[in-house]
């Protein structure tokens, strides 16, 4: 389930009117020195940055937990929601509803506001965007796996993907398990475990159609069919003791004919006998094997 924000965080204010429970003197204290802010959807990026600096300066002078502090903080949230919408637009192709992505991104925005310090000399959008995007990515990491796996393996998947890309560019080929293990300071078994866990991230539908160059049908069409090769395995296992009982020359003829794929004439030349003799020996051997299988059944 997607996290839901408190109403105080998502209230869509249209002006900077202070909370109704403040008396006139407190209202004057809150608004003192603050510029008039038009409806938030009419504030452009440049004006939003300038207004945010003024509000952050005021926020630093207020005591956390007071009504005045909450008012200025919530105004900063509303004023910078455009950052959240911009970050969320990068994930529009995901299956999650955009409303949920924006709510998660707003949590990141609130965290960025709480951590921001004007004294650092950094523009707030530059500071906030990594936190907003990170919160959204964490949401997908925790909720978008087809099969639930431990957090350790979820994070290992990301580390493997990043290290794999970096090594592939450096080596001009796909890295080996050993190279990935050395890069991440892990054992080979841990890398293999992480690679196996990556298979749980997405699942293919049984009805998914194959790629254009795939000669096979949908996955559902390839599940549960009768594999005729299984019967062949049974015959091979039954033939092994019967073949072991054959004379050496007969075993050689079988091997040359059915393993090496040689013709009867080629076998005759190999063994120094005529093609007709090879044919008779081969026919006799096959009859013997068939009888042996029949008796066992």
- pLDDT tens digits, 8-54: 444 333 344 444 444 544 544 555 555 555 566 666 777 778 888 88
Evaluate whether 7-143 and 229-296 have a shared fold. no
Choose from 30-39, 205-214, 284-293 the range with maximum mean pLDDT: 284-293
| Band of residue 109 on the pLDDT scale cut at 50, 70, 90 | very high
For CA atoms 230, 235, 236, 238, give the dihedral sign. positive
Looking at residues 209-225, what average pLDDT do you find?
A: 54
Of all residues in the chain, the percent with pLDDT exceeding 90 is: 14
Residue with more model confidence, 218 or 259: 259
Phi-psi map region of 94: left, alpha, beta (phi>0 left; psi -120 to 50 alpha): beta
Q: Does the pLDDT value for residue 79 go beyond 80?
A: yes
pLDDT band at 137 (very low <50, low <70, confident <90, very high): confident
Q: What is the per-residue pLDDT for 185?
A: 92
* Whether the predicted pLDDT of 215 surpasses 60: no
Residue 13 burial (CB count, 10 A): 15
On the 0-12 / 13-18 / 19+ scale of CB atoms within 10 A, 266 is: middle
Task: Average the pLDDT over 199-225 and give the result.
Answer: 56
- Residue 7 scores a pLDDT above 50: no
DSSP state of 127: H
Of the listed ranges 53-57, 108-112, 144-148, 282-286, the one predicted with least confidence: 144-148
Q: Does domain 7-143 have CATH number 3.20.20.140?
A: no
pTM of the model: 0.42
Topology classification of domain 151-206: Arc Repressor Mutant, subunit A (1.10.10)
Q: Write down the domain spans for the chain.
A: 7-143, 151-206, 229-296
Decide which of 168 and 17 is more confident: 168
Checking if the pLDDT of 132 tops 80, the result is yes
How many other CB atoms are there within 10 angstroms of residue 151's CB atom? 9
Residue 174 has pLDDT above 50, yes or no: yes
Q: Is-contact 253 278, C-beta < 8 A?
A: yes
**3-class DSSP assignment, residue 90:** coil
- When the candidates are 3.20.20.140, 3.40.50.300, 1.10.10.10, 3.40.50.2300, the CATH number that belongs to 229-296 is 1.10.10.10
């Amino acid at each position: 389930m997607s996290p839901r924000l408190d109403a105080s965080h998502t209230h869509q204010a249209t002006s900077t009117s202070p909370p109704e429970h403040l008396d006139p003197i407190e209202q004057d204290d809150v608004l003192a020195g603050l510029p008039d802010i038009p409806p938030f959807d009419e504030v452009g990026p440049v004006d939003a940055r300038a207004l945010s600096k003024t509000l952050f300066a005021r926020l630093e002078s207020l005591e956390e937990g007071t009504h005045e502090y909450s008012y200025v903080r919530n105004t900063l949230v509303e004023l910078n929601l455009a950052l959240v919408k911009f970050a969320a637009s990068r994930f529009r192709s995901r299956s999650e509803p955009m409303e949920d992505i924006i709510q998660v991104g707003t949590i990141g925005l609130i965290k960025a506001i709480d951590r921001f310090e004007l004294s650092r000399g950094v523009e707030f959008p530059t500071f906030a965007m990594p936190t907003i995007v990170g919160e959204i990515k964490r949401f997908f990491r925790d909720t978008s796996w087809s099969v639930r796996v431990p957090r350790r393996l979820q994070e290992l998947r990301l580390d493997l993907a990043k290290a794999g890309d970096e090594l592939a560019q450096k080596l001009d080929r796909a890295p080996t398990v050993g190279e990935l293990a050395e890069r991440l300071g892990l054992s080979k078994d841990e890398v293999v475990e992480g690679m196996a866990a990556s298979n749980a991230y997405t699942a293919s539908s049984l009805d998914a159609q194959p790629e254009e160059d795939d000669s096979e049908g949908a996955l559902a069409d390839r599940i549960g069919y009768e594999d005729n090769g299984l019967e062949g395995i049974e015959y091979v296992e039954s033939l092994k003791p019967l073949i072991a009982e054959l004379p050496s020359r007969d075993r050689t003829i079988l091997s040359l004919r059915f393993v090496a794929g040689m013709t009867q004439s080629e076998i005759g030349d190999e063994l120094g006998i005529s093609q007709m003799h090879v044919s008779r020996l081969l026919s006799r051997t096959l009859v013997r094997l068939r009888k042996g299988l029949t008796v066992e059944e």
